[in-house]
């Protein structure tokens, strides 16, 4: 039996980045795009090119890096947006422009202040202009979940005639129930049958994003828009891993459908996104949460010992998760073994990145008795996604006491010059960050701080994530990795500063939520 392929449209780099605190630098976005390509995603929505020069730059670089997935940019139904999107994806092997305009009565009247006829004219113009840049154009009826279906048919006719090949029906505010989404998709898919693909983009405001997406597939949708770990604005988007594994696991229901996703790359993708954004899936998150394959009940444990299928409908190995937390390598391991292990973990490094990662691994191996897969993932991810090192930490000396003022002496290198300074602070961390501010000349405001143990043991690596606003600009995420938490914190802060400086001049205020969300 020939199966129909459900296209997986990943918007982690666009809608997912709109999660509070999930901003990423260009290098981080490139690494995520490379992982999404390994995952087998059909379309990667790499960003919103007109949002800022930084977004444009990231999309343009991803377009040159990715070859097996379609690279897409979002654009409002405005000429300048469409032009920016077209230029950003120009060098992609497979490219798409995704343009949208609101179609619900409440949006047209109160946000756009346009008549339905004006909305259709604007949509047609956007699609026609997009076709001058790419052959693959997707059109979205923003707030489709609250739009009149008669009007959606009318505007779909117009944009399909103008050249759109995919019609997306976003439940922008996560309002609809599964049976309502199913009915809408069924009617629309039958209406445009043979002329365009129907896509859905479900938000999770009522916790129904995945359920609505699966109901849409049953009723005719052949593209699903989603994000890794369910990232996204407000309560997030439908989670890619849940949709894909539901389609795969319940073949009794979805026997006519398949995806191009390599499910063994799901867990590595989840860990990469969590590491870069600093947003961990909740422990009981389906598929990728740390408790997803944990069995505490005695009855469950007894059943698992006798036959894993008694309480497990998905094998951990199916998503690329090694439940043994396998011990790997050591200080006597060579470069070849290191490279081979990274390859098995899904990393493909340039010679320069491999050499740098191997040096850091050897330093770690001298200090840490046992090195685990998660240690290597964290080490390599940190190396591959670092911004250019404008400032580099050389040394850190701390003094703290119960009845005195904490102080920090920091040595930092810039342009081959070493700069040393010291400060006191309200706490050790405050002293470190104040000293870095003094040396760099940039005033940083710490908005968030998180520290997480990468693996296990008293000598576990500390993975520190900071969210910092420099000189009042939009917040930047920084990451630091070290056995010593204070050193990791200093590196995270300097990492955020380097990311800020690499994007300085490219940072602009984001468009309002209403202009960026579908």
Residues making up the annotated binding site for Mn(2+) are 15, 201, 203, 237
| Residue set of the binding site | 15, 201, 203, 237
CB 462 within 8 A of CB 451: yes
The dihedral through the CA atoms of 272, 273, 277, 283 has a sign that is: negative
Residue 403, token pair as written in the block: 């009845």
Give the SS3 label for residue 397: strand
Mode of pairing for the β-strands spanning 4-5 and 257-258? parallel
- Is residue 66 within 8 A of residue 101, CB to CB? The reply is no
Other beta carbons within 10 angstroms of residue 52's beta carbon come to 19
The pair of structure tokens assigned to 220 is 């005719």
Q: Could you tell me the two tokens for 436?
A: 């870095």
Written as six digits, the tokens of 437 are 């501010």
The dihedrals phi and psi of 398, each to the nearest 5 degrees, come to -120, 150
Strands 43-47 and 70-76 come out as parallel
Rounded to an integer, what distance in angstroms lies between the CA atom of residue 487 and that of residue 462? Answer: 9
Q: Contact, 231 vs 273, CB < 8 A?
A: yes
């Amino acid at each position: 039996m020939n199966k129909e392929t459900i296209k997986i449209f990943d918007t982690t780099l666009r809608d997912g980045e709109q999660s509070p605190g999930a901003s990423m630098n260009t290098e981080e976005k490139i690494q995520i795009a490379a992982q999404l390509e390994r995952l087998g995603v059909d379309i990667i929505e790499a960003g919103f090119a007109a949002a800022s020069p930084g977004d444009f730059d990231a999309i343009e670089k991803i377009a040159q890096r990715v070859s097996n997935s379609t690279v897409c940019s979002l654009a409002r139904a405005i000429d300048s947006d469409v032009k920016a999107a077209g230029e950003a994806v120009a060098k992609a092997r497979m490219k798409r422009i995704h343009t949208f305009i609101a179609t619900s009565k409440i949006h047209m009247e109160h946000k756009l202040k346009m008549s339905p006829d004006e909305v259709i004219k604007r949509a047609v113009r956007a699609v026609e202009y997009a076709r001058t840049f790419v052959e693959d154009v997707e059109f979205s009826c923003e707030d489709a979940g609250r739009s009149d279906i008669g009007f959606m048919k009318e505007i779909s006719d117009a944009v399909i005639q103008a050249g759109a090949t995919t019609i997306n029906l976003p439940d922008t505010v996560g309002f609809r129930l599964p049976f309502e989404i199913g009915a809408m998709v069924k009617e629309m898919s039958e209406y445009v049958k043979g002329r365009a693909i129907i896509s859905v983009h479900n938000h999770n405001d009522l916790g129904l994003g995945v359920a609505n997406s699966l109901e849409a597939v049953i009723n005719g949708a052949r593209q699903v828009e989603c994000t890794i770990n369910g990232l996204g604005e407000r309560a997030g988007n439908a989670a890619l891993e849940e949709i894909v594994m539901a389609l795969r696991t319940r073949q009794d229901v979805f026997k006519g459908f398949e995806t191009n996703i390599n499910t063994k790359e799901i867990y590595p993708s989840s860990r990469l996104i969590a590491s870069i954004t600093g947003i961990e899936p909740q422990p009981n998150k389906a598929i990728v949460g740390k408790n997803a394959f944990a069995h505490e009940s005695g009855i469950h444990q007894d059943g698992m010992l006798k036959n894993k299928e008694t309480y497990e409908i998905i094998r951990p190995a199916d998503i690329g998760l090694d439940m043994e937390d396998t011990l790997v390598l050591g200080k006597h391991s060579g470069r070849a073994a290191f490279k081979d292990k990274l390859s098995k973990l899904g990393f493909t490094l340039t010679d320069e990145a491999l050499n740098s990662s191997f040096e850091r691994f050897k330093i770690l191996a001298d200090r840490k008795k046992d090195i685990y897969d998660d240690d290597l993932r964290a080490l390599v991810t940190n190396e591959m996604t670092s911004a250019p090192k404008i400032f580099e930490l050389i040394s850190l000396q701390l003094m703290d006491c119960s009845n005195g003022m904490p102080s920090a002496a920091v040595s930092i290198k810039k342009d081959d010059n070493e700069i040393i300074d010291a400060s006191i602070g309200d706490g050790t961390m405050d002293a470190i960050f104040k000293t870095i501010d003094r040396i760099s000349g940039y005033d940083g405001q710490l908005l968030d701080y998180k520290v997480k143990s990468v693996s296990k043991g008293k000598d576990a690596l500390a993975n520190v994530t900071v969210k910092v606003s420099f000189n009042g600009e939009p917040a930047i995420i920084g990451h630091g990795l070290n056995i010593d938490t204070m050193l990791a914190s200093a590196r995270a802060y300097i990492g955020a500063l380097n990311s800020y400086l690499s994007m300085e001049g490219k940072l602009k205020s984001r468009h309002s939520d209403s202009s960026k969300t579908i």
